[in-house]
């Protein structure tokens, strides 16, 4: 069975459109309904759950034969070969603290390949989109990853796990990475990080311990914008991406630093 990535992207856009206005207005709400998940630092809000339910309903109404996997527990078995990967609020801690870096991320995977994805940056009110083989856009404008060829002047984004022991190990990796790049930025959401790589706001990105919903749309967008994305994320290692001119050097650096193990 073939699928039309543009049709899938339109479904993703429509679902995201249903939740963005309320999420962007949520910072005015005194009570976000904050709770915790895996650890005391792993936050979830009533808005995460509401947004996921709203997106899932929109997608399953439009495409009742598709499957769904959501960060907050949504799980729908499908028969079409298409599975939707949903992060209703990527960067929930940023969302709670009214900081940049949170987004809504929706991707469609056909069998083993992500073919369409959209990420909406909630603070900047920007929509990143991509379909496989057709490039990536920001608010309708074509975007491209950066062109630097010098690792030493490259700006790198990363993130950290929620458990104390892993955060310590990741900090040790950072010690070995930081001297060889311009600087590090920690924005707090993998989807925004990958979209920042896609449009040249950062030159490289790495993070371990992501769920597929965290990176599915963002990795497609970055790849379609010309970034090189390492494929070890789904196997439990770090997801690593970089603009083409520094990719080999950056991948070697994070391998040597042990990013895939921390």
Query: Hey, what are 227's tokens?
Result: 């970034």
How does strand 141-142 pair with strand 183-185?
unpaired
Same-domain pairing of 128 and 65: yes
Same-domain pairing of 176 and 95: no
Instruction: Tell which of 142, 176, 204 closes a domain.
Output: 142
The packing angle between helices 164-177 and 247-257, to 10°, is 130
pLDDT in tens, 104-129: 999 999 999 999 999 999 999 999 99
For residue 141, the model assigns a pLDDT of: 98
Same-domain pairing of 137 and 184: no
For residue 238, the model assigns a pLDDT of: 84
Same-domain pairing of 11 and 41: yes
Task: Write the CATH number for 124.
Answer: 3.30.540.10
Task: Write the CATH number for 208.
Answer: 3.40.190.80
Same-domain pairing of 115 and 183: no
Of 105, 24, 22, 106, residue with least CA distance to 59: 106
Same-domain pairing of 44 and 133: yes
Same-domain pairing of 20 and 86: yes
* 253, 180 Cβ separation under 8 angstroms: yes
Is 262 inside any structural domain?
no
For residue 234, the model assigns a pLDDT of: 40
Please report which residue ranges of the chain form alpha helices under DSSP H. Answer: 5-25, 46-62, 92-96, 164-177, 190-198, 212-224, 247-257
Same-domain pairing of 178 and 76: no
Domain that holds residue 11: 5-142
Same-domain pairing of 55 and 182: no
Is 59 inside any structural domain?
yes
Query: Hey, what are 59's tokens?
Result: 């997608």
Q: CA 229, CA 188: separation in Å to the nearest integer?
A: 19
Is 56 inside any structural domain?
yes
User: What's the predicted TM-score (pTM) here?
Assistant: 0.93
* pLDDT-flagged residues of the chain (< 50): 233-235
Phi-psi region of 59 (alpha: psi -120 to 50; beta: other; left: phi over 0): alpha
Instruction: Tell which of 89, 118, 142 closes a domain.
Output: 142
For residue 231, the model assigns a pLDDT of: 66
For residue 233, the model assigns a pLDDT of: 46
Same-domain pairing of 103 and 192: no
* 208, 237 Cβ separation under 8 angstroms: yes
Query: Hey, what are 7's tokens?
Result: 């049709």
Query: Hey, what are 211's tokens?
Result: 């769920």
Is 101 inside any structural domain?
yes
For residue 42, the model assigns a pLDDT of: 66
Q: CA 139, CA 126: separation in Å to the nearest integer?
A: 6
Phi-psi region of 19 (alpha: psi -120 to 50; beta: other; left: phi over 0): alpha
C-beta neighbour count of 243 within 10 angstroms: 25
Is 94 inside any structural domain?
yes
Of 111, 90, 113, residue with least CA distance to 102: 90
Instruction: Tell which of 142, 172, 196 closes a domain.
Output: 142
- Give me the sign of the Cα torsion angle 173, 178, 184, 190: negative
Is 17 inside any structural domain?
yes
Domain count, the chain: 2
Same-domain pairing of 185 and 216: yes
Same-domain pairing of 137 and 164: no
Is 86 inside any structural domain?
yes
How does strand 136-138 pair with strand 141-142?
antiparallel
């Amino acid at each position: 069975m073939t699928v039309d990535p543009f049709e899938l992207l339109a479904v993703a856009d429509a679902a995201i459109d249903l939740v963005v206005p309320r999420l962007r207005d949520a910072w005015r709400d005194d009570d976000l309904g904050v709770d915790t998940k895996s650890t005391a630092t792993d936050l979830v809000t009533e808005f995460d759950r509401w947004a996921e339910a709203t997106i899932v309903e929109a997608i399953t109404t439009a495409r009742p034969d598709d499957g769904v996997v959501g960060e907050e527990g949504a799980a729908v078995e499908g028969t079409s070969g298409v599975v939707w990967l949903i992060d209703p609020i990527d960067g929930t801690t940023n969302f709670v603290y009214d900081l940049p870096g949170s987004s809504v991320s929706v991707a469609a995977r056909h069998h083993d390949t992500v073919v369409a994805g959209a990420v909406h940056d909630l603070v900047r009110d920007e929509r990143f989109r991509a379909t496989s083989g057709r490039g990536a856009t920001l608010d309708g404008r074509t975007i491209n990853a950066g062109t630097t060829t010098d690792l030493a002047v490259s700006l790198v984004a990363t993130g950290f796990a929620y458990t104390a022991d892993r955060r310590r190990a990741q900090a040790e990796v950072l010690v070995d990475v930081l001297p060889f790049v311009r600087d590090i930025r920690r924005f707090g959401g993998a989807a925004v990080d990958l979209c920042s790589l896609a449009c040249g706001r950062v030159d490289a990105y790495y993070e371990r311990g992501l769920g597929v919903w965290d990176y599915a749309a963002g990795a497609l967008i970055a790849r379609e914008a010309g970034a090189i994305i390492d494929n070890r994320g789904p196997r439990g290692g770090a997801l690593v991406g970089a603009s083409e001119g520094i990719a080999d050097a950056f991948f070697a650096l994070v391998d040597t630093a042990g990013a895939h193990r921390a």
